[in-house]
Structures are given as C-alpha cells and as structure tokens.
Amino acid sequence: MKNIIQTAEQLLGRKLTANDGYTTDEIKQAENMLGLTMPEALKHFYLSVGKVEVLASSFQRFLPLDELQSDGEKIIFLAENQEVCLWATTIHDTTIWVKYSDDEGWITEPIGLMDFILLTMYYNCAQGGFEFGGIAENEEAYPAILEYVQKEWNKVVQYNALIIYAYQDNLIWYFYKADNTPTDDGIFLSCRTEEKFDKFFNLFDFFFCHIYCGKYKINRSRYLFHFTYVHDNEIFYSLRHWSIHFPSCSHCLLVCFSRASRTCSDCHYLK
C-alpha cells in the first residue's frame, strides 16, 4: 500500500500526518454501518488521506465515511463532481463499478481499485486541488511540450482518454484522441506552488486559465471571484460567455484582455 502514501506525499509536498486520515475505529464503525468490509486499498486510502481535501474531494468526491452507501455487496465510495455517476467496489475482487444517474445498471470499469484510487488522486489535483493552472491551446506548441514531458516527466495516468504526466507536485495533462494526440481542449498545466507554476508557465505557450481552488474558492458558482478573458476585443461575447457559464459568481469580476483566441471546453467557439 506504499503507492498511496508515496503519491500523496509527492503531490502534497510534505509528509503525511495522523490528521490527514480517519482512524481505525472510524473505519470499523463505517464497516459496521454498511454491514460490509472495505477492500484493503480503499481502507488504506481513508486511513492515510481520507480527510485531505486536495486529494479526496477537490473535484471527484470520495464520500466521507458517514456517507458511504451500499448496494448489495458493493460499497459506493466515489461521486462524480456533478453527481452524474457513482463508483463502487467490493471486498471480493476489487473490481470498479460505475453507475450513471440515468441508468439503473452497474457497469464494470477496466481498471483495478488501487490504480483507480491513484488516478483519482492525480485527477483531483489536476482539476482543482492545485492552486495554479494554465493551458496551451496553440497546437503548434504541442510537439515541444510533449517532447519535453515525455523525456523529463513520469506518465502516471493513461486511462479513458486522459493522460497525466507528473514531476514532483506538478502536472501536465490532456485528453487524447485515438492516436494519443491531445484533443482541441488543449494541454493543461497544474502546479501546487506559484514558484513552479511560473517556471513551467514561462517555458511554453501556456496562458493563465480559470482557477478552481478549494482553498481560495475562486471561479466556482456562489464564490467571490471570477476571471474572464476578452476574446479578440469582443467584450460583449466574452461577458455573455461568462454570464452563461458562471451566472451566480458575480461578486467581483476581473477581466483580462487577450489578443490570442480563447475557447471553452464546453462550447469550443464563443461566437
């Protein structure tokens, strides 16, 4: 089970403490509530880092112990960030099962429990756990970025059209097409510290992108700040895009004027 601890300490940039996870008694209480025994990998996750928001709930949400659910012999332990689907496993074979909100049946995922937990830890850091983020959308920059990460970084995730490279507590990641090249969504940079972000930000054609940060609560509906870009001097379209995608985030708005074309993964083209 060293993989969870080593991965967590790498991503957090520090040693784990007892306060990062649940206690053995809390695990036993949850198992008694469910009437089921947790697989060792899932138990170890909760014991080691179950209370660390960056790893456990900054995007996909590992359910707190008192919210764990059962469905027959399955333990439901993870919810997609918009509750579109749930993931479950069992004590018997540690198969990962997924169930979509509009589908009554469970479907198996072609990945084991330990690999799935590690994947989700990395993805949570990439999608919100790390404070500093950037994106490269210029396809001409992709070859240089990919050549760099393939030589210098470790590929830690390749699953379900997602690739993540890691270097210490820094991630470069993208969604890939059938030929393993990045999709039009771009190549993303996620860093835990501003110092590392500045270093990699300046190496390639990244630009500062939306911040999704549990600590500072930026760029999520109902929170304080929102960052938006003015696309090719079209302030009307940019503000319209902002109002559609983030309608309840309007306590304060910071507008950045940019000459480069910007897109959004939800709509791709703003006009």
Q: What is the pLDDT of residue 14?
A: 96
Q: What is the pLDDT of residue 92?
A: 84
Q: How many CB atoms lie within 10 A of CB 208?
A: 16
User: What pTM was estimated for this model as a whole?
Assistant: 0.78
> Is residue 180 scored above 60 in pLDDT?
yes
pLDDT tens digits for 255-268?
A: 555 444 444 444 43
Which of helix, strand or coil describes residue 134?
strand
Measured CA to CA, the distance from residue 139 to residue 130 in angstroms comes to 24
Choose the weakest-confidence range: 34-38, 196-200, 238-242: 238-242
Measured CA to CA, the distance from residue 97 to residue 78 in angstroms comes to 10
Give the strands of the sheet with 154-159, arranged side by side: 154-159, 162-167, 170-175, 187-191, 132-136, 207-208
